[in-house]
Structure 1
Amino acid sequence: MNTILVIGGSRYFGKSLVTRARDAGHEVTVLNRGSSAPPAGVGHVVADRDDEDGLRAALGSRSFDTVIDQVCYTPGQAAVARRAFAGRTGRYVMTSTMEVYDPATLPGPVPAPVPVAEDSLDLARTAPTAPHADPAHAYAEGKRQAEAVFLREPAFPFVSVRTAHVLGGGREEFTGRLAHYVERIAAGSPVDVHQAPYATSFIHHREIADLLYWAAGQSFTGPVNAASHGAVDVTALCELVAAQLGRRPRYRLVEEGAAASPFSFDRAYAMDNGRAAALGFGFGRVAEWLPTAIAEAAGVNRLRSAAPTGLLPPSCSH
């Protein structure tokens, strides 16, 4: 039995990760600000991760075999965690994102080749930059800089799991990105796409929970890409949604550089999952689970459409 601390872990695949580790017999603790209680059989530490003194006080003398950080978004948060958990953990796993490879948010040369492998991004050269006004740029750069903080003069063995776009789970999928397609295609509204959209990487919500749990028990360090086999472009996604709904998708082309619907990209950065696979993790295929994820999203959409205005069950709201 190992002791595992999950920072965050209160929604979506974080909840699955927590219960997965608990049911495997590990001593699991969740750290959050107290907004939600962990499931039965899981410990709870209430602290604001941005408050270093308060975090240290809340942790007391606790130490952990592994910390899994689900909610590290900035270099400042990484720096606090690096100091606070030095000497308290034998392994630190940070949930990162494929957006770190997005050429649109990178200041230097575009990673190549595609699909991108972990070593295409040199975080040793990542220098702090001013916050970006665009949320997508700020998110990607924040994750890059957070990884870089942990990698510089490591205080403990560190892993960054660069996860693909996570789908599945119906109501649990709080981003609403898959629901966007279900709603628009069901209504006969056009989907905004690029002239020649590039395929992108996806992973099922249970698969990423399993991978994070697996990574916690391994000995490798450094970045690892997390993506199901098989990239999919936005038009293929729309065709699958349309088949579930018995409708034909309509498309509206956007100009170069303009915003489009989620998962429509005018640049390539789908991920190579070869490192994780070589280390022993068995990925599924997008084609195997995406139809079910779409059906789940369509079911939620039908429920929302059938509910009278103002009477939608709270568990179905985002």
Structure 2
Amino acid sequence: MDSVLVIGGTRFIGRHAVTEFRDHDYDVTVFNRGNHDVPDGVRHVEGDRTNDSALERAREETEPDVVVDCVAYQPKDVRAATEIFRDCEAYVYVSSGSAYGEEVIPKREDETPLHDCTPEQARDDSPESYGPRKAEGDRAVFEAAERGVRATSIRPPVVYGPYDYTERFDYWIDRVLNHDRLVVPYTHLRHLVYAGDVASALRVVAEAGEAGEAYNVADHTLPVLTEWVDLLAEEVGEDVEVVEAGERELAAGDLSPADFPLYRDYPHVLDTSKLEALGWEATPHEETVPATVEEHRESDRTGRENGPAREAEERVLDVLSTF
């Protein structure tokens, strides 16, 4: 395989995917609406991925061996793409760990049930229907494989790393850089994954994955939120006191645990052994954290709108200081 078409390749996961495939000597083309710049040396085809004619034009102009689909947010998008690119050597859909419909530890691709998806949810674009829509996209991949399409999917949890426009991880970097005492809610294990590792998973699955299969992709280890803060503090060279708080303490600032980015009230753990069997490896935190912090410093992102205002956090800290 020599060429890849990345559908949506200029913001976050797609941006890392472009780098990954270029680093492995693929000819890379990005297909998007033209709202963001394409790297030098990368071919660009402009169009709306929800327009089937535009996708067909991209196929005719580029004749890709591999198609990486980073921005299929509704099941109909996956069904259209798997039909349009049915003759490609590999189609890889970026699904999500949110596709799983049961809270079990760990979540395994061939065991853990997926969310159901109603027709109304399939047409929706709200956060509440995200998991069901991703699950239905997976089922579209499975159906395509039954028709002979070499279609696969990957399921990442929350993704962090350079260029993260969601700014969920940026919130914690910004807090560590600017304050020496932080409130962190009591939380359970939540698997994260480095964006570069999602990109390498896309390539590995395209090259070695089995049609009709889904592959979890996540970090090799699972720091709890307090440990993530410690890792960030160590990287930036700051002495940060982490103060854990429960619902009662947070109420002093009119806050709840869910107000904090990356909080989860039940462990979310993905088994990645299926992907690792293809030769994929996760990047250690000793490399992912410095790269993420360095790019954050160069950006103008703060993530502050994703979490509590500092004033509310300080009210909680004042209450905890009296205990």
> What is the TM-score normalised by the length of structure 2?
0.77
Q: Does 1:49 align with 2:70?
A: no
Report whether the alignment pairs 1:200 with 2:198.
Answer: no
2:20 is matched with: 20
Would you say 1:130 and 2:120 are equivalent positions? yes
Structure 1 residue 259 and structure 2 residue 258: aligned?
yes
SS at match of 2:198: helix
Matches within 5 A, 1:117-266: 117-123=108-114, 126-131=116-121, 135-154=126-145, 155=147, 156-169=149-162, 172-185=163-176, 186-187=178-179, 190-191=182-183, 193-194=185-186, 197-221=187-211, 222-243=213-234, 244=236, 245-254=238-247, 259-266=258-265
SS at match of 2:277: helix
How far off is 1:266 after superposition? 0.9
Identity %: 25
Please identify, of 236-245 and 248-257, the stretch whose mean Cα deviation from structure 2 is larger: 248-257
**CA displacement 1:2-37 (0-9 Å, x = unmatched):** 221111111234223213323433222111112234
- Distance in structure 1 (CA, Å) of the matches to 2:43 and 2:221: 38
Indicate which of 290, 296, 299 corresponds to 2:297: 299
Tell me by how many angstroms 1:51 deviates.
1.4
Task: Tell me how far apart the structure 1 counterparts of residues 82 and 9 of structure 2 sit (CA, whole Å).
Answer: 19
Whether the 8 Å contact between 2:96 and 2:156 is mirrored in structure 1 is: yes
Structure-2 separation of matches of 1:192 and 1:281: 33
Distance 1:218 1:144 in 2: 22
> Could you tell me whether the CA contact under 8 Å between 1:30 and 1:44 is conserved in 2?
yes
**Structure 2: distance between partners of 1:242 and 1:281:** 29
What is the RMSD of the two structures over their aligned residues, measured on CA atoms? 3.0
Q: 1:141: how far off?
A: 1.8
Query: What's the TM-score once normalised by structure 1's chain length?
Result: 0.79
Counterparts of 1:24 and 1:271 in 2: how far apart (Å)? 27
**Gap runs ≥5 in structure 2:** 251-255, 303-323
| Equivalent residues of 1:22, 1:41 under 8 A apart | no
Mapped to 2, the partners of 1:298 and 1:153 lie a distance apart of 39
Structure 1's unaligned 5+ residue stretches are 305-318
SS in 2 for 1:10: coil
CA deviation string 1:234-274 (max 9, x = no partner): 12223333444312123442379962312221112211111
1:28 and 1:43 in contact (8 A); partners too: yes
| CA drift at 1:285 | 3.3
Deviation at 1:290, TM superposition (A): 5.0
Matched, 1:78 2:78: yes
The secondary structure found in structure 2 opposite 1:217 is helix
The answer to whether the Cα contact below 8 Å between 1:165 and 1:202 also exists between their aligned partners in 2 is yes
* Of 295-304 and 1-10, the range deviating more from structure 2: 295-304
**How far apart, CA to CA, are the structure 2 residues paired with 1:142 and 1:177?**
22
